[in-house]
Amino acid sequence: MTTTLLSLSHPSWRSQLRAAYAIALKDWKTFWRYPLNAVSNVLQPIIWLTPVYFMGQAFSVNGQANGFAAYSGTADYMSFILLGTALSNFIGSVFWGMGYALKNDMDAGVLESVWLTPVPRLLLLVGRTLNSILVTAIESLGMLLVAALLFGFHPTGNVLAAFLTTVPMLLGLYGFGFAFAALVLLMREANTLVDISSFLIQLFSGSNFPVNALPRWMIPVALSIPLTYGFDAVRGWLLKTTTLLPLAWEAVILVVFMFVMLWLGSLVFHAVERSVRRKGTLGQH
């Protein structure tokens, strides 16, 4: 009786949750099947940050990057960049979690059969990110611990406010991810797309530097990306840096971004998904 009620053939919110859990559990098991990857993911950002650390030294006197402080309000450029890197990990995981998962299913030849299950397609996408978000949280914590030992990490502000700021930012990213997954369905190639778009968004939203250091003509691009305000607000709360706008305004922008992106992203995804189903190109890769 219970089985019938929870069955995916009679969709209910409980059966949908069960489906999302099953997807996350499958990804969790697959991920830990290759434990070296977890170690690599902790060390990777450290590797990327090392040249930045030494480059920063080349611009500093007695470890103080005063030029950097004039832009950002803090001479502690490594804490600034480390925080940006941890947030970027989450941006990456939403992109990878959806776009790349679709490509994997295409290559493995299971996308069509997964598509036939009575689970909402957006839930299939969200399910693929649950594990990557959890793993990213674990890895980012590990990365910050290692980086704190190597380079120093000095957050002195309000951790709770910083955390609350990240919630609408991450949810808004799901909207981005839906639209991006639609693009993967169309182009059938994920690696380059994921790499480039994820990198560009991180670049222009100021994951490694204050956006006011960009050339003048690029600043409007940075200011038009809502994530810029997310990075800026989290740093403002945790490192007490100079923010682009008052923190309350940045919070409002992030909440609006969340609703708009979720609506827009799901709209684009449904339109493209319907189109590839009609053309019969869903299983092609």
Q: How far apart are the first and last CA of the chain?
A: 41
Q: Secondary structure of the chain: what % helix, strand, coil (to 5)?
A: 80, 0, 20
| Candidate residues 17, 39, 167, 260; the one interacting with other proteins per rule CB under 8 A | 39
Contact 266, 175 (CB under 8 A): yes
Residues near other proteins (CB under 8 A), total? 47
| Candidate residues 9, 51, 220, 224; the one interacting with other proteins per rule CB under 8 A | 51
Q: Round to whole Å and give the CA distance between 233 and 250.
A: 7
Q: Round to whole Å and give the CA distance between 22 and 122.
A: 15
Task: Name the minimum Å distance from CB 107 to other proteins.
Answer: 9
Task: Name the minimum Å distance from CB 25 to other proteins.
Answer: 21
DSSP state of 212: G
Which residues lie closer than 8 Å to 96 by C-beta, 6 or more apart? 132, 194, 198
Task: Name the minimum Å distance from CB 36 to other proteins.
Answer: 5
| Candidate residues 15, 16, 60, 242; the one interacting with other proteins per rule CB under 8 A | 60
Considering only residues 62 to 101 of the shown chain, the ones binding other proteins according to CB under 8 A are 65-72, 77, 81
Name residue 54's amino acid: F
Task: Name the minimum Å distance from CB 189 to other proteins.
Answer: 4
Contact 251, 226 (CB under 8 A): no
Name residue 108's amino acid: A
Virtual torsion, Cα 78, 84, 27, 197, nearest 10 deg: -130
Task: Name the minimum Å distance from CB 77 to other proteins.
Answer: 7
| Candidate residues 7, 12, 30, 40; the one interacting with other proteins per rule CB under 8 A | 40
Task: Name the minimum Å distance from CB 53 to other proteins.
Answer: 9
Which residues lie closer than 8 Å to 185 by C-beta, 6 or more apart? 102, 272, 273, 276, 282
Q: Which residue has the tokens 């940075």?
A: 222
| Site for other proteins contains 59 (CB under 8 A) | yes
Considering only residues 214 to 253 of the shown chain, the ones binding other proteins according to CB under 8 A are 214-215
Virtual torsion, Cα 87, 88, 93, 94, nearest 10 deg: 80
Task: Name the minimum Å distance from CB 238 to other proteins.
Answer: 18
Considering only residues 91 to 150 of the shown chain, the ones binding other proteins according to CB under 8 A are none
Considering only residues 177 to 206 of the shown chain, the ones binding other proteins according to CB under 8 A are 187-189, 191-193, 196, 199-200, 202-203
Residues that bind other proteins (CB under 8 A): 34, 36-37, 39-40, 43-44, 47-48, 50-52, 54-61, 65-72, 77, 81, 187-189, 191-193, 196, 199-200, 202-203, 208-210, 213-215
